[in-house]
Amino acid sequence: MAVTHRVVRHVGVALVALASVVAAPRARAQDVGQTIAASLPRLQPRKVVPFDTGEKLTFDVRFGGLKVGSGRMEVVGMQDVRGREAWHTRFTVKGGIPFYRVNDRMESWIDTRTFESLRFVQDLEEGRRDKERTFEIYPDLATYSENGAKSTASVEDPLDDAAFMYFVRTISLEVGKTYDFNRYFRPDRNPVQIRVLRKDTINVPAGRFQTS
C-alpha cells in the first residue's frame, strides 16, 4: 500500500457530560447550545477499531535495499481533549545517511467516537531543518489553528498525517485500486490518495498476518 499527498511528503516515510441549565441558570441560550453540541459525541458509541491502547508497531526504514533507520507507531493511551475522549498516538522515525540525519515525531489525538483529529503535533528534524508545530483542530467548527495563531478553515471529518495511518486500517481496501479522500485537515492539500499495491503475509511474535 502506498499513501501519497500532493504537498505533504513525510508519510513515506470526549469524556464530557451534558451541561445542566439548572446548574448554570445565568448562561446565555447560545452558550448552553454550544455546550450541548460539543457534548454530542459523548452520546455515540466508541468506534470499533483494529487497535487498542498499548499497541506498538516497529518497522525498518530502507533506502533502496539498505536499512537506514527504524520507525515505530504506538497507541500511547487515552486522553481528554477539550472534553472529548481521544486516542493518543505517536509515530517516530530515526535514522538517515551520512551527512543527513532524520529524527521525526508526529503525535495525534483522535476522537474515539467520531474518528476525527482533535490535535496534531509535528516535530521534524531532517538534515539542518528543525521545525515543531502544534495544530488544534476543531471538527465542529471546521477550523484549525497552528501554534496558537488565528483559526483557519478546515474540512468535515478532519484527519492529520498520523491519524490517516490509523484510519486506513479501519477500511476495506482492494489490491489494484486507488482511493481519494478529502479529509486532510488542511484543505489545500487534498485529496490524499491511497494506492493499494499488493497484499503480503508477515510473521510477528503474535502470529502470521495478512497485510495490504
Question: Cα separation of 3 and 176, whole Å?
Answer: 13
The per-residue pLDDT for 42 is 60
18's grid cell? 451534558
The per-residue pLDDT for 33 is 40
- pTM for the whole thing? 0.75
Question: Cα separation of 112 and 53, whole Å?
Answer: 12
Of 91, 94, 92, 99, which Cα lies nearest the Cα of 128? 99
199's grid cell? 497484499
The per-residue pLDDT for 23 is 33
Q: In this structure, which amino acid lies at residue 190? A: N
Of 13, 82, 6, which Cα lies nearest the Cα of 42? 82
DSSP per residue, the chain: -EEEESS--TTT----PPPPTTT-TTS-HHHHHHHHHHHGGGGSPPPP-S--TT-EEEEEEEETTEEEEEEEEEEEEEEEETTEEEEEEEEEEEEEETTEEEEEEEEEEEETTT--EEEEEEEEEETTEEEEEEEEEETTTTEEEETT---EE--SS-B-HHHHHHHHTTS---TT-EEEE--BSSGGGPPEEEE----EEEEETTEEEEE-
The per-residue pLDDT for 36 is 42
Instruction: Convert the pLDDT of each residue in 138-172 to its tens digit.
Output: 999 999 999 999 999 999 999 999 999 999 999 99
Q: Kindly report the backbone phi and psi dihedral angles of residue 83, in degrees, each rounded to the nearest multiple of 5, phi listed first.
A: 85, 10
Residues in the chain predicted with pLDDT less than 50, given as ranges, are 2-37
Question: Cα separation of 156 and 189, whole Å?
Answer: 14
The per-residue pLDDT for 7 is 34
What is the number of domains present in the chain? Answer: 1
Could you list the residue range(s) of the whole structural domain that residue 31 is in?
Answer: 2-211
The per-residue pLDDT for 40 is 53
